[in-house]
Amino acid sequence: MGFFEKISKGLKKTKDSVIRQMDQMFSSFTKVDEELFEELEELLVMGDVGVHTSEKICSRLREKVKREKITDAAKVKEALKEIITELMEGGEELNLSSKPSVILVIGVNGVGKTTTIGKMAADLKASGKRVLMVAADTFRAAAIDQLQIWADRAGVDIIKHGEGADPAAVVFDGMQAAKARGVDVVICDTAGRLHNKKNLMDELSKISRVIQREIGDNDMEVLLVLDATTGQNAVNQARQFKEAAGLTGIVLTKLDGTARGGVVISIKDDLGIPIKYIGVGEQIDDLQPFDAKGFVDALFDGEEVR
């Protein structure tokens, strides 16, 4: 299954609930007027695009329609796609040019963080990278065990200590192992306690300092994993983590389980944080590197999946 088909299938719930209504709206209007824009904005908000972002999209759409003298409601959809694509483009690619590079993965419990790390490791390995996992979520024995399972599935090495170990010490060992083994990318798991706990943020800062001390100016991505099914709550969560953890990107999971796919647009526009990966299923290859145009095309034009 190709990228377009996989993403299109994964966005089925959003397409069936929101995009279908948009298509019906565009086909029902015989002219492009203010009523069309108002109804479109309402549909965007319903799709969890967010009020601020929906207003911005419709404002730009009004300008584009006027500038290009678009009079056919059906062509407004193409203009809408172009505007959304422009909003979402930029910064999607992981910055992993140094050796070793580090991906620090953060997020609250239950968002699919461990699964995401396993799938990301498999994707990077398939692209020719030598990958090492670091199990720095030492507060739950289950987290260490789960990461080991994913390391086995992905066919990559893992550095781990026992439950209750100092997370920064595990990360230190991981950095040492990465340099000794000639690893390309180190992916570090972290604890997933609530994002408003000061001790968690202090711990993330300590881990970051260890990484920077060991790899210097080498590339480091700080990726926040979010659950798309929580809609605008995911945006609020990202806002709080952004203030405390210096995020470089977002991984949005469980898009296949929600009609709230519009939250992808809201996160990028509201927070200025690029989407790096999106998860659209349970299989190991269902975590896809994000592509703005491919996402918008699949959302608006993909074949309906029954």
116 assigned ligand-binding residue: no
Torsion of the alpha carbons at 254, 259, 264 and 270, rounded to the nearest 10: -130
Would the annotation count 185 as a binding residue?
no
Is 168 one of the annotated binding-site residues? no
Q: Is 67 annotated in some ligand binding site?
A: no
The answer on whether 191 is annotated among ligand-binding residues is: yes
Annotated binding-site residue? 50: no
Q: Where are the beta strands (DSSP E) in the chain?
A: 101-106, 131-135, 157-159, 185-189, 220-227, 249-253, 275-279, 287-289
Residue 111 annotated as part of some ligand binding site = yes
Tell whether residue 279 is among the known ligand binding residues: no
The answer on whether 114 is annotated among ligand-binding residues is yes
DSSP 3-state of 104: strand
Angle at 100 between CA 96 and CA 103, to 5 degrees: 55
Q: Yes or no: say if 184 and 100 are a contact pair by the CB < 8 Å rule.
A: yes
The answer on whether 255 is annotated among ligand-binding residues is yes
**Measured CA distances, 99 to 132, 183, 220, 277, 288 (Å):** 12, 7, 10, 21, 23
190 is in an annotated binding site: yes
Distance from the first to the final alpha carbon of the chain: 16
Residue 257 counted as an annotated binding residue: no
Establish whether 122 is an annotated binding residue.
no
Ligand-binding annotation for 197, yes or no, is no
Cis check: omega of the bond before 100, within 30 degrees of 0: yes
233 has binding-site annotation = no
Annotated binding residues for GTP, written as ranges, equal 107-114, 189-193, 253-256
Annotated binding residues, written as ranges, equal 107-114, 189-193, 253-256
